[in-house]
Amino acid sequence: MFEAIGQIPYRRTVFAVFVLFVFATSAAEIIYEFGAGETLGSMADDLFRFALSAIVLALFVFEYFAQQRALGELRGQLAKARGHLARLDTQSQVVASQYRAVMQKQFDAWHLTASEQGIVIMLLKGLSFREIAELRDTREKTVRQQASSVYRKAGVSSRNELAAWFFEDMLEAPESNNT
């Protein structure tokens, strides 16, 4: 991606080559005519082309270095963002691990079997009974029975209540300090 940002578009390159050509030919013509003894007045058109092409080339060089500076700043920002994301990813892994431990503690308190625990995880991920049955290579009726057993052990009556049990505390609005 950065290589594409740093490249000069094709049309701009062609124009820059043209300006460089005009600059070089004007310079060569000025040197040749000056060497042949012509006056500066008779070389006015060559001097004008030379000066104009020099200005345009200077603008190209200035813009190129400005783009390189901006590109360097973007690379720095990207590196900083990647570092920040890596820290967040590490933090999210720690939080996820802690939350899995909390979930496991609750599974143990509800005396869920390993199979029932798997059902809870898939229900929380939003899978349907049919999808869970396909993944577990079992019948949908078996999954429904295991879900009913989980609901009974957890003291809830539905998938929504089960999900709310695990996520409700995390989704509460933070307390605002209006002092």
H helices of the chain, in order, are 2-6, 10-35, 44-109, 114-124, 129-136, 140-154, 159-167
CB-CB contact of 126 with 96 (8 Å): no
| Angle, helix 159-167 to helix 140-154, in steps of 10 degrees | 50
CB-CB contact of 124 with 162 (8 Å): yes
Q: How far is it, in rounded angstroms, from Cα 36 to Cα 46?
A: 14
Closest CA to 56 of 82, 24, 91: 24
Give pLDDT tens digits along the chain (179 positions).
445 544 557 777 888 888 888 889 988 988 888 888 888 788 888 888 888 888 988 888 898 889 889 989 999 898 888 888 777 788 888 888 888 898 999 999 999 999 999 999 999 999 999 999 999 999 999 999 999 999 999 999 999 999 988 887 666 666 655 54
Look up residue 86 and give its two tokens: 């890596």
Q: How far is it, in rounded angstroms, from Cα 52 to Cα 135?
A: 73
Residue-level pLDDT at 15: 82
CB-CB contact of 104 with 94 (8 Å): no
- Which of the 8 DSSP states describes residue 39? -
CB-CB contact of 124 with 166 (8 Å): yes
